[in-house]
Structure 1
């Protein structure tokens, strides 16, 4: 299983500009849980799944409007995550994260 425990500086390119957050991830069984914290507050990371170097997870946000974000990504080496955030009707946007020191 990919080693995802830790803190990750995350950036998503969205129509509202670059959205930055801190992901705090903790492995649990064959999956993971965590929290994404940013300027609009914190949100729980749920349904975290790991298959090899492939990651998927969800975040139910309330700001700027309520929606569930479906995230799919790949762990690259031990220090990068790259993937997409699917917002449904608003489209898919690139996600990049780097492990904190």
Structure 2
């Protein structure tokens, strides 16, 4: 799977720019799991699906408040670009580059 790997990511949030390392682990068929670890700790990537070069997943942020995050990104070569939908906070840009 071309989308598997680790990505150095940056998310533009209402609290400022957050950095993290996202790990995408292939599952059965067109599924994946993983984590993103960064400024706010570690979050599990769940319900991950793959459609071509597009991945989608959910996360639950617990700090500074609990909120469900719906995420979608396209991976082109070593670059990742997408959006994180965070309830009433709206959508946040997610950018990443495959980590070496």
What is the TM-score when the length of structure 1 is the normalising length? 0.93
Number of equivalences: 99
Q: Determine the structure 1 residue equivalent to 2:8.
A: 9
Segments of structure 2 that go 5 or more residues without pairing to the other structure are none
> What do residues 15-74 of structure 1 show as CA deviations (whole Å, max 9, x unaligned)?
111111111110112111001101221111001110011110111110111011100111
CA RMSD of aligned residues (A): 1.0
Q: Determine the structure 1 residue equivalent to 2:76.
A: 76
Q: Does the 8 A contact of 2:31 with 2:49 survive in 1?
A: yes
1: distance between equivalents of 2:35 and 2:79?
A: 17
1: distance between equivalents of 2:21 and 2:90?
A: 22
Segments of structure 1 that go 5 or more residues without pairing to the other structure are none
Task: Quote how far apart the aligned CAs of 1:86 are.
Answer: 0.2
Q: Determine the structure 2 residue equivalent to 1:21.
A: 20
Report the 3-state secondary structure (helix = DSSP H, G, I; strand = E; otherwise coil) of the residue aligned with 2:88: helix
What is the TM-score when the length of structure 2 is the normalising length? 0.93
**Structure 1 stretches of 4+ moved >4 Å:** none
2: distance between equivalents of 1:40 and 1:93?
A: 15
